[in-house]
Amino acid sequence: MSKRIYEHPVLRKVVEGIPNKFGSLKRLQPIATIDTVEIDSIISKYGSPVFILSEKTIRQTYRTAYRAFSTRYPKVQFAWSYKTNYLDAVCRVYHQEGAWAEVVSGFEYEKAIDNGTPGTHIIFNGPDKSDEDLIRAINNKSLIHIDHFDELYSILGLTDKLKERPQVAIRVNMDTGIIPQWDRFGFNYENGEAWNAINRILSSGTIDLIGLHIHIGTYITVSKAYATAVEKLAALANKTFDRFNVSIGYIDIGGGFASQNTLHGAYMPATDTSPSFDDYAHAITTAMIAADFPNNETPMLILETGRALIDDAGWLAGTVLANKRLADGKRSMVIDAGVNLMFTAFWYNHEIYPVHESSFQSEPTTIYGPLCMNIDVIRKNIDFPMMNKGDHFVIKRVGAYTMTQWMQFITYRPNIVMIDEKNNVHLVRKAEDKEVFRRQELVPEHL
């Protein structure tokens, strides 16, 4: 005789006025596969935890974004934001799709070159560019986006010694109605600093000003802020043309498109509220077309969006370590991936799912990582089914920033695999082991 399916016994107090299971529970459907590949099989082969990337999702998302803009505006160029995820495998998928590289350090610049990106397709952003970095970028005719006057003077100082004319844009910051205003990067529009920088560049006669760049903030969901930004940049382009007879070749609108991850404190899930690529494209391209650029020219539109392109393509799978009742009777669960890998848990309510159906009952649960630190919380108070030690879970939408901001703390960083379009699994970054650290460390002889 076959035995009946067992369920954990559950006893729950009814709190009047508080929503019960019909009120609050979104039944978490288990996620067993990614692109038809069994998550269990990936864990058994590559260990736990493991990051999983979907090449198919990367390409599809990119194409959706590109279609949204290119069907509305004649000259569109995406530049892959390396800092969001600079795994070579990921970068190369974007480059194959036609994206340039957007880098913010010498390290990222070297990666872009190694990934076969032509120098003229590299946008070099950020406040930290050494003379060495600048010389290489100038010689390669890369697009240098100047962040501050000290950098501008460094470039001016280098022009005597170099044959190539530096190809530059300036980064502009401004009031677009977005709070907080990101005024720590670039030159301010309202107080005339940006115009001063343009004057300085063009009166030197040794540098080419080819673009204007703005990045109005991160996780921006107000499309009209972009429209404000474009209007102000167009005004700057006109002023430049009138004074120097120089046309601005491109407008780089930066990134900052929201992903579908829900921020802490948001009332509605982001999957219901985040604007789509089409919403952004509509706002930005309408503003670009409406803006009056000099000579009736249409500058190229460059987009550096990172998060919204890659977030959906990344997953983190792992294993339950323990279940615990906290002192107040609330349930908690410890998993083998903590904030060392999921830095983003500090601001997102990440979506976490069981890999297999474990229980029909669920209960408010706090999910902790394995680190010996109180702040190691992956998810607070999520209605989650009971899982047993050894069961697998998977976290959705972790493609952005996790694999670049992760910390090597207490333990090794895990494997990263990519599922290709034919559903084959490739290891794209090896887990660390003690040899990695042995290679890096030196011990003084007397120890």
Partner 1 sequence: MSNQKTITVAVTGLNNIDSPGPGVSVIRGIKDSGLNARIIGLAYENLEPGIYMPGLVDKTYLIPFPSTGSEAFIDRLAYINEKEGLDIIIPNFDSELYLFIKYSDQLLNMGIHTFLPTLKQFEERHKDNLPEYGEKYGIKMPVSKAIQNSKELSNLPKPLSYPYYIKGKFYEAFKVNNNNQAVSYFNRLSAKWGLPVVVQQAINGTEVNVIVLGDGEGNTVSAVAMRKQYITDKGKAWGGITINDERLLEITHDIIKKTKWRGAMELEMIKTDEGEYYLIEINPRIPAWVYLAVGAGQNIPEMVCRLAMGEKVIPVTEYEYGKMFIRYSWDLIGDISDFEKIIIFGEL
Partner 2 sequence: MSKLNSLAISENGFIFKPSTGESFTTNEIGLLIISFLKQGKTADEIINEITKEFDVDAISAGRDLYEYLDFLKREKMLD
Residues forming the site for partner 1 (CB under 8 A): 14, 16-27, 179-180, 265-269, 271-273
Distance from the Cα of residue 168 to its chain's centroid:
25
Using CB under 8 A as the binding rule, the residues of this chain from 13 to 52 that contact partner 2 are 13-14, 20
Shortest distance (Å) from residue 26 CB to partner 2 = 19
Number of Cβ within a 10 Å radius of residue 332 = 15
Q: Which of 7, 114, 131, 357 binds partner 2 (CB under 8 A)?
A: 7
User: Do residues 189 and 205 make contact, with C-beta atoms less than 8 angstroms apart?
Assistant: no
Strands 377-385 and 362-368: antiparallel
Report the alpha-carbon distance of residue 34 to residue 60 in Å, rounded. Answer: 15
Q: Which of 9, 17, 23, 390 binds partner 2 (CB under 8 A)?
A: 9
Using CB under 8 A as the binding rule, the residues of this chain from 313 to 342 that contact partner 2 are 325, 329
- Name the residue nearer to partner 1 (CB basis): 118 or 217: 217
Q: 48: which DSSP letter? A: S
User: Do residues 70 and 296 make contact, with C-beta atoms less than 8 angstroms apart?
Assistant: no
Report the alpha-carbon distance of residue 226 to residue 231 in Å, rounded. Answer: 9
How many chain residues interact with partner 2 (CB under 8 A)? Answer: 18
User: Do residues 296 and 242 make contact, with C-beta atoms less than 8 angstroms apart?
Assistant: no
Task: Read off φ and ψ for residue 94, nearest 5 degrees.
Answer: -65, -40
Strands 348-349 and 262-263: antiparallel
Q: Which of 204, 221, 361, 423 binds partner 2 (CB under 8 A)?
A: 361
Stretch that binds partner 2, among 11-19, 42-50, 174-182, 234-242 (CB under 8 A): 11-19
Residue 7: contacted member of partner 1, partner 2, none (CB under 5 to 8 Å, by partner type): partner 2
User: What is the x/- site pattern for partner 2, positions 365-404, by CB under 8 A?
Assistant: -----------------------x----------------
- Name the residue nearer to partner 2 (CB basis): 9 or 265: 9
Report the alpha-carbon distance of residue 306 to residue 81 in Å, rounded. Answer: 5
Q: Is 443 in the site for partner 2 (CB under 8 A)?
A: no
Residues near partner 2 (CB under 8 A) are 2-14, 20, 325, 329, 361, 388
